[in-house]
């Protein structure tokens, strides 16, 4: 069962805990999904990632009051996406999309409870798989599967083939 945390805030950050952020759970996410795009596959070295898209007012850096550039590397992907990773441990932490005016964080960076489960899972639980057409493996679950963004692209129904 998901545990609820006080003050309606979720916290997360990098592996070494040098870079931290918070999410206001009173502001619902724009998207909770598993992303199978080739860009995420390359950046994270994984077949898919759990992404959470947030309104600007829902995301806040909580790292000590030093310039963020002292503890993070910022790099630009496709001109409008600014990604941030920890200079110490290398963890990818967040992304800012200038064009869409939204933050993205990755589920694996959220804090866990004593049992290793993401705190308040019901708030961030993925509802779909996106960019599923470029997946590396089939995921046998009941979530929606889409060629692009959920409900903005064609659904994917066919399993991978041997030559895919």
In degrees, rounded to 5, the angle at the alpha carbon of residue 160 between the alpha carbons of residues 158 and 164 is 130
**What tokens were used for 77?**
């992907």
Report the SS3 class of residue 21: strand
Asked if 140 contacts 34 with a C-beta cutoff of 8 angstroms, the reply is no
Asked if 5 contacts 22 with a C-beta cutoff of 8 angstroms, the reply is no
Mean pLDDT, consecutive 10-residue segments, the chain of 164 residues? 60 95 96 96 95 98 84 87 94 95 97 95 96 96 96 91 63
State the Cα torsion 43-41-18-22 to the nearest 10°.
120
Nearest to 37 by CA among 91, 84, 96, 77: 77
Domain 8-28+52-123: give its CATH code. Answer: 2.170.150.70
DSSP 122: H
Nearest to 20 by CA among 111, 125, 114: 111
pLDDT of residue 2: 46
Domains of the chain: which residue ranges?
Answer: 8-28+52-123
The CA-to-CA distance between both ends of the chain, in Å, stands at: 38
Report the SS3 class of residue 7: helix
DSSP 139: -
Residues 155, 147: Cα–Cα separation, whole Å: 6
Whether the model pTM is above 0.75: yes
pLDDT of residue 163: 60
**What tokens were used for 62?**
């909580």
């Amino acid at each position: 069962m998901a545990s609820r945390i006080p003050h309606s805030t979720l916290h997360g950050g990098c592996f070494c805990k040098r870079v931290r952020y918070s999410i206001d759970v009173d502001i619902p996410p724009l998207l909770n999904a598993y992303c199978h795009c080739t860009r995420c596959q390359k950046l994270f070295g994984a077949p898919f990632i759990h992404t959470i898209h947030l309104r600007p007012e829902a995301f806040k850096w909580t790292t000590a009051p030093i310039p963020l550039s002292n503890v993070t590397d910022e790099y630009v992907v496709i001109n409008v996406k600014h990604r941030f990773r920890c200079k110490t441990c290398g963890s990818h932490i967040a992304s800012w999309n200038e064009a869409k005016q939204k933050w993205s964080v990755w589920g694996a960076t959220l804090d866990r409870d004593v049992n290793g489960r993401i705190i308040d899972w019901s708030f961030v639980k993925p509802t779909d798989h996106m960019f599923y057409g470029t997946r590396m493996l089939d995921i046998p679950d009941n979530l929606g599967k889409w060629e692009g963004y959920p409900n903005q692209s064609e659904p994917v129904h066919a399993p991978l083939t041997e030559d895919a």
